Amino acid sequence: MPLDSFSKPDLVVATEVAEAAIYKLKEKHGELIFHQSGGCCEGSTPMCFLSNEFYVDKTDILLGEIGGCKFYMNKEQYAYWRHTQLVIDVEEGYGGSFSLETQHGLRFITKSLLLN
């Protein structure tokens, strides 16, 4: 197989359970956006917001989409994570964050896979 026929893996993906939670949140709240938290107050968690409630600026890069929602990360943080694929999952519980899913008794979590 020619080398150029290999495609680069998505930088961010979601599990089936996370995708289902995203679709339920979209049905209830409308268009959403995700941003990977940088590890300050909330740790390194994916944050889910209404799309008009989060300001994306020139320091953020678009990693891809999950559940039809854009997923961003700060450029400086990406420099550390660039060799990984983010796998977004969800579990029951409260993460103590401003993320939209917490009001539904859920929290999104980030797992990562090392890319070659």
Would residue 89 be called left, alpha or beta, if left means φ above 0 and alpha means ψ between -120 and 50 degrees? beta
In CATH, what number is assigned to the domain containing residue 79?
A: 2.60.300.12
pLDDT in tens, 31-41: 999 999 876 65
Task: Give the three-state DSSP class for 31.
Answer: coil
Among candidate residues 109, 104, 111, the one with its CA nearest the CA of residue 23:
104
Q: What is the pLDDT of residues 3-56, one digit of tens each?
A: 555 677 899 999 999 999 999 999 999 999 999 987 665 567 899 999 999 899
pTM tops 0.85 = yes
Domain hosting 85: range is: 3-114
Number of domains within the chain:
1
| CB neighbour list of residue 87: distance below 8 Å, 6 or more residues apart | 12, 13, 14, 15, 110, 111, 112, 113
What sign results for the dihedral spanned by CA atoms 5, 11, 16, 22? negative
